[in-house]
Amino acid sequence: MIYLPDTNCFSAYFSNKSPALSERLNREMAAGKLVLSVMVLAELEFGAFKAQEVLGTRRFLETVAKLKESLPPEPLEEDFVYHYSRTRHLLESQGNKIGDRDLIIASHGLALGATVITRNVREFQRVPELKVENWQTELG
């Protein structure tokens, strides 16, 4: 099993809002079962730059840099293009769109054969064939 945490999952992890979530992420990372999407990394770095501007601290940028070192981001490859195009067409034709960044993360998860870990289950469950779990609810 491969797990692709969504941005909100890493945000909760970095802020230690859920010790059980942190424990599970650490365990799966040590087992080599976590992957980092380039889209999630982009969202995390964007948030880190905003935090630096608003709070005047580089702490979050340093935290994201450490994550990148321990969990190198997975590139978007040709399989991603297929899943993105197919999923976007299907959802739009049904009038059931999801956010652009969530669509990229979901399509990346499909391309990697990964289960997306997120608090935003309702959005991601609209994507056919995507496996989705919410460890924050399941773990407390």
For 94-137, the pLDDT digits (tens) are 999 999 999 999 999 999 999 999 999 999 999 999 999 999 86
Q: How many CB atoms lie within 10 A of CB 127?
A: 24
What pLDDT score does 52 carry?
A: 85
Q: How confident is the model at residue 28 (pLDDT cuts 50, 70, 90)?
A: very high
Structural domains of the chain ordered from first start: 3-139 (3.40.50.1010)
Token digits of residue 130: 């995507």
Q: How far apart are CA 6 and CA 40, in angstroms?
A: 6
* HSE, side-chain direction, 13 A CA sphere, residue 64: 22
Angle at 100 between CA 82 and CA 28, to 5 degrees: 75
What pTM did the predictor assign?
A: 0.92
User: Closest Cα to residue 110, out of 93, 95, 88?
Assistant: 88
The tens digit of pLDDT for each residue in 42-52 reads 999 999 999 98
Buried b (16+ CB within 10 A) or exposed e, 24-38: bbeebbeeeebbbbe
Q: What is the tally of helices (H) and strands (E) in the chain?
A: 8, 5
Helix axes 59-70, 7-14, angle to 10 degrees: 120
